[in-house]
Chains A and B, each alone.
Chain A
Amino acid sequence: MSHPERIQELLADRAVWGLSETEERELQQHLGTVPEDPSFEAAAAAVTAAHYARRDAAAPDRLMHTLGADALCYFAHRGDITLASLAGTRHPEPEALDAPAAEGTWPPPTRIDPVIHRDGGGSSSTGWWVAAAAALLAAILAWQLLPAPMQPTAVRQELVADGAWSESWSTGPSPLSGTPTGDVVWSDTQQMGVMRLRGLPKNDPEQQQYQLWIFDKTRDGQLVDGGVFDIADDGTEALIVVDAKLGVGEATGFAITLESKGGVVVSAQEHIVATAGL
C-alpha cells in the first residue's frame, strides 16, 4: 500500500475512532512535514452534528451554570471582563455597563449587552447566566483573600530542596529550536514544577506560542499539556511555572513544542524545540 493510501486510512480511522499510540506514530512518520488533511475529521463531525442538530435536549441546568461560570473565569482570566462589570450583572444600569473600569484594577471591559443580565428578562430566562456570574464573582472575591501565589524562583527553590526530579534541556530536532539551555524541575508529589530556559528564540505571541508537554508513565503514552508560554528575549533566562492541565502520575520527561497561538490539545510534534529526560 502506498503512503498516500495509508495516510488516508489512518486519517479516516482517527476521525471515526481515534488512533492508538502506535498508529499515531505511524501516521506522523508517513506525514513527515506534509500538512495534515483535516477534512476527514470535519466530515466525521458534520455527520455527528447533523444528527445532534435535530435533537432538542438541553443540558442540565447545573451543567449550564457550570459552563457559564467556566466561561466567565476563562474570559476574566483573558482580560475580556472585569470584576466591576460582573458586580453589575444582577442590577445593571445601562450607563454603568458603558463606564470604563477603575484605572489600574482590571483590563478595560468588553461592553456587555444589558439584555442578558436583566433578571428574568431577555434571553436569560433560566437565570443560569446570572447565577454563573454571581458564582464567579464570589469565587473572585474568595480568591482575593488568598495569599499571593508563590514566585517561580521560590517554587523552584522549594522543589530543589525537596529533591524533586530535575533534568537539563537538550536541543530539539526542529530547526526553530535555537540553543535552549537550562533545566526543568518537577515533583509528582506536589504536582508542581518550574522551567529555567535560555536560548529559545523569541516568539510572536499573536502567531505562535511555546507549549510544554509532560510524558507521564502512568498515562500509557498520553502526553499531559503543561501549558503555553512565551519567550520575550532569547538572551535572558526565563523562569516559568509548569501549568499541568491534568494530574501527572510519574513524569519521565518533558518536551517543548512550538504551536499556534493558544496551544493545541494534541501536538503534531512538528516543531519540538527542546526536550528533557527523553
Chain B
Amino acid sequence: MTNALLSQVARGELHAVEDCIRRFSGAVWNLARRMSPTEQDAEDAVQEVFVELWRAADRYDPSLGSELTFVMTIARRRLIDRDRRRGRTVPTASLAEPEIIPDQPAEHPAEIADEASRVQDAMDRLRPEQREVLQMSLIQGHSHQQVAERTGLPLGTVKSHARRGLMRVREMLGHSPSQTPGGAGAT
C-alpha cells in the first residue's frame, strides 16, 4: 500500500483524515453549493460525500488519477443521486456564483495541478460548442434541459455535444477502466 493520503485514510490514520478534510472539503463544498437548492442541503450532501469517501478510500488507485478526481467522482455521483431523488428541481447557480469564489490556486499536490493542466488542455482542444456544454454541465451543474434553454440548442444536440466532448476528454486524458470508487455499477 502506498503513502498516498487516501491510502493512509484507508488505514484509519487520523492525521490523514484531517488532511483529507482540509484538502478536499473546499472543492466538494463549492460543487455541492452549485448542485444543491439550499445551504443546508449542500452541507448534508458534503457530509454524505465524506462518509462515502471514508468507506471507499481503500479503492483509490493512485496510478489511475489524482485523489481529488477520486473525491470528485464520489461527490458528483452523490450529488447527481440527490438531485435525481429531488426530481431535478435545483435552480442551479442559486447558491454559489463564481464571483464569490476567489480564483486563487488552492494548496494541492503537484499531481493535482498536473492533472488540472492536462484537463484544461483537453478542454481547450474541444470544439467550442462541446466545451461550452461540458462546462455548463460539469462545472456549473446545469441539467441538459437547462443547458438547452440557455444555449437555445435542441436537447438532442446538447446531449450529443456532451457525449462527444466527454469521450474526447476521456481519450485525451487516457483514462483507463477501473478507476471509480464504489466499484462497477454505481451511478
Contacts and interface: CB of A to CB of B under 8 A. Distances in A.
Interface of A: 8-9, 12-20, 24, 28, 35-60, 62-64, 66-68, 70-72, 74-75, 78, 80-81, 110-113, 115-116, 123-124, 129, 219-220, 222, 259-260, 262-270
Interface residues of B, number: 89
A46 to B, nearest CB: 5
A115 B166 contact: no
A43 B47 contact: no
B77 interface: yes
Nearest to B133: A16
B166 A54 contact: no
A185 B91 CA distance: 40
A35 B178 CA distance: 9
B83 interface: yes
A55 B144 contact: no
B130 to A, nearest CB: 12
Given A52-B72, A53-B108, A37 B47 contact: no
Given A8-B167, A57-B30, A71-B50, 6 more contacts: A24-B187, A42-B69, A46-B66, A63-B47, A80-B11, A266-B185
B138 interface: yes
B183 A259 contact: yes
Contacts of A123: 18-19, 22
B170 A63 contact: no
A78 B12 CA distance: 9
Contact of B17 (A43, A47, A71): A71
A42 B60 CA distance: 12
Interface of B: 11-15, 17-19, 21-22, 25-31, 43, 46-47, 50-52, 54-56, 58-59, 64-66, 68-73, 75-78, 80-81, 83-85, 87, 100-108, 112-113, 115-116, 119-120, 123, 134, 137-139, 143-144, 159, 162-163, 166-167, 169-170, 173, 175-180, 182-187
Contact of A66 (B43, B77, B138, B163): B43
Contacts of B19: 123
A40 B180 CA distance: 10
Given A15-B166, A71-B50, A47 B138 contact: yes
A49 B163 contact: no
B73 A59 contact: no
Contact of B179 (A24, A42, A56): A42
A70 B12 contact: no
Given A43-B169, A67-B50, A56 B69 contact: no
A56 B144 contact: no
The B interface is mostly helix, strand or loop, or mixed, namely helix
A262 B166 contact: no
B113 to A, nearest CB: 7
Contacts of A268: 183-186
Pick from B19, B30, B71, B73 the residue with the most CB of A within 10 Å: B73
10 shortest interchain CB distances as A-B pairs: A268-B185, A80-B12, A50-B119, A38-B180, A18-B80, A43-B170, A52-B27, A59-B29, A45-B73, A50-B116
A145 B80 CA distance: 39
B55 A9 contact: no
Determine which residue in A43, A62, A68, A74 has the highest number of CB atoms from chain B within 10 A of its CB, and name it: A43
Nearest to B167: A12
Contacts of B116: 49-50, 53-54
Nearest to A62: B43
A38 B76 contact: no
Contacts of B25: 58-59, 63-64, 67
B105 A56 contact: yes
Contacts of A12: 162-163, 166-167
A56 B81 CA distance: 26
Contacts of A41: 73, 76-77, 180
Contact of A35 (B13, B15, B177): B177
